[in-house]
Structure 1
Amino acid sequence: MTIDIITFGESMTMFYANEAGELYEASSFSKALAGAETNVAVGLARLGFRVGWMSKVGDDSLGTFILNELTKERVDISEVKRMAERQTGILLKSKVVSGDPDVTYYRKGSAASTMSVFDYPGDYFKQAKHMHITGIPPALSKDMSEFTYHAVEHMKQEGKTISFDPNLRFQLWPDQETMIHTINEIAAMADWFLPGISEGKLLTGLSTPEEIAEFYLDQGVGLTVIKLGKEGAYYRTEEKSGYVPGFEVDRVVDTVGAGDGFAVGIISGLLDRLPIEEAVQRANAIGALAVMAPGDMDGLPSRERLNGFLTDMENQKIGG
């Protein structure tokens, strides 16, 4: 199949606690797919885009689970490689009543971490119109970092657009200085950069959305959209800037995956040729739907569900 959007990274099998409390107290778990890039791939596929995901998984039952789940979601996995000598990554996640859950990773030395430039399928990648990346792969290993740089440079040469969510994972980096340097270097090569406000402050040393966006504009980023949580988002290009308010939700169930949902909204909106404000509004909407659902991708909507949510929100605003 030809693809519209390509992404890559590590997908893991997630075991999430069925009862609220400390992770070490949990006695029963459910199983699900996890991984920032696969969350985005699934979200875009549910909106009707043809999406490819490239990685490595272990030749084990958890690797089979991941590939089966992505196949169900109509994500193309034709370039995923399986490794008998390496395992698929695992994560454990607590259940919370409010706030962020506790997450523990078991991913060091995983199959995905061995991805190198020698695994890069150039012809497969260049058929896509757009590539989405996160800051997780370059943190996993030297080989994956080189793969990331190679993919970005190749896709830029091919004239493709690139979106980049820093998705900072402090525990994966050797030190903060390396993390900041690497993320900012990759951001400067991206077309659309999507940091959260706390990430932007750390990466730039600046304090306001306007200052942070200007920093990346000066680095050559075409569009920076800064996530502000329930307050919405701030965007800036060379020509325009502005705030787009968020959506109130009845109850926050799980915040993990909200940023990935936001990326789905930006990417899909811009590829659908929506005005930037409407693309950001869509991103806010999908982020809101994501936090109201328990799993990382349970809240990622179909087009029908997304349009219904936006219509309901507009009616409430008119009625209010």
Structure 2
Amino acid sequence: MDVLCLGESMALFVPAEDGPPERVRAWTRTVGGAESNVACHLAGLGAASAWVSAVGDDAFGRAVVDFVSGHGVDVSGVRVDPSRPTGLYIKESDASGSPVRYYRRGSAASGMGPALLAGLPTEGVRVVHTSGITPALSDSCLALMRELVAAPRTYLLAFDLNWRPALWAGRDTSVLRELAAAADIVLVGADEAATVWGAGDPAAIRAVLPEPPTLVVKQAEHGATLIERDPATGADRAEVFQPALRVDVLEPVGAGDAFAAGYLAATLAGAPPAHRLRAGHLQAAAVLLTRDDVCAPLPGDLVAALLAADDTGWAAAHIR
């Protein structure tokens, strides 16, 4: 197993017709969740991935597990909770884009706790990926995350901030820096960091978060910056920046998870820094062309050509 992803996934409803959400009568049910999205993208990119979570003993729970496993992801570590329901969320397409509304309080995944780690199948795993969503779900989920980051490990721990303000209402957000500081790879959006830590550019974010060996700052349509520590000297190497691709965006939701998967897949392949960032941008571009959170990668020949392109060729590319 290459990557194990841990976190909640839910039934997802998207409008099947145009109009304000209060007038939409037809909805399409699919599945979404940050960590399972990453696992599905990784499987599509050829990495062996697993997803660990909890779902309810209900139709939505079965649909979630079937969806994720249908993308080639190992779901043997998913627990079925007999008393809590599977969470769900809704994309309410309107003039402002695609806002998301969650119905996840008291969900099966919110009942996860440190006991889940006892059966975590980490043997042979090279990366464990999780995010700042899980510790916001409940006190037991926060305890789970604290134990996960403190445990001895033979793998890289990747942590995506994945800021969800509605989940943090009334909760202590300082734990997000605590958890990120204990990870090996941290992915964070510049806008998220500005909100949570008051630092919006890569250097400022690094000053707030000096501990992780690898820090990836996603700067939306501008690009992404990688700051990486030299293990020989303990000092940071020079920042590496790769501009984002020009894309005819249909919907932005899910692009961050796709970027994380592309970046991690390239990391597993031992790719150099700029290549890793480009791989993230390429997978993000694929999902930006759809209304889905998970999609197939871009055509292999296009990906290969853009990974090998010089800076001028990369900047000239337009994904439609």
TM-score normalised by the chain length of structure 2: 0.90
Q: Does 1:140 align with 2:137?
A: yes
Q: Distance in 1 between matches of 2:315 and 2:177?
A: 44
Q: Which residue of 2 aligns with 1:233?
A: 224
The structural deviation recorded for 1:307 is 4.7
Number of residues of Structure 1 aligned to a counterpart in Structure 2: 307
Q: Distance in 2 between matches of 1:182 and 1:280?
A: 27
RMSD across aligned C-alpha pairs, in angstroms?
2.1
Q: Amino acid of the residue matched to residue 167 of structure 1?
A: N
Query: Structure 2 matches for 1:18-37, cutoff 5 A?
Result: 18-37=16-35
Query: Structure 2 matches for 1:1-320, cutoff 5 A?
Result: 3-96=1-94, 100-122=97-119, 124-154=121-151, 157-175=152-170, 178-179=172-173, 181-217=174-210, 220-237=211-228, 238-249=236-247, 251-298=248-295, 300-301=296-297, 305-309=299-303, 311=305, 314=309, 317=313
Q: Distance in 1 between matches of 2:2 and 2:224?
A: 26
Deviation sequence 1:145-172 (CA, Å, 0-9, x none): 1111212222xx1231111111011111
Q: Distance in 1 between matches of 2:73 and 2:257?
A: 16
Q: Distance in 1 between matches of 2:227 and 2:100?
A: 33
Preserved CA contact (<8 Å) 1:6 1:53: yes
- The alpha-carbon distance between structure 1 residues 175 and 123, as it changes in their structure 2 partners (threshold 3 A), is closer
- The alpha-carbon distance between structure 1 residues 153 and 100, as it changes in their structure 2 partners (threshold 3 A), is farther
- The alpha-carbon distance between structure 1 residues 318 and 74, as it changes in their structure 2 partners (threshold 3 A), is closer
**Identity in percent:** 29
Deviation sequence 1:3-46 (CA, Å, 0-9, x none): 11111111101010022332222111111110000100000011
The structural deviation recorded for 1:234 is 1.3
Q: Which structure 1 residue ranges, 5 or more long, are not aligned?
A: none
The structural deviation recorded for 1:244 is 0.7
- The alpha-carbon distance between structure 1 residues 61 and 317, as it changes in their structure 2 partners (threshold 3 A), is same
Preserved CA contact (<8 Å) 1:223 1:235: yes
Q: Runs (4+) of structure 1 moved beyond 4 Å?
A: 312-316
TM-score normalised by the chain length of structure 1: 0.90
The structural deviation recorded for 1:115 is 0.7
Q: Amino acid of the residue matched to residue 317 of structure 1?
A: G
Q: Distance in 1 between matches of 2:214 and 2:97?
A: 28
- 1:195 counterpart SS class: strand
The structural deviation recorded for 1:202 is 2.2
Choose between structure 1 and 2: higher helix proportion.
1
The structural deviation recorded for 1:312 is 6.0
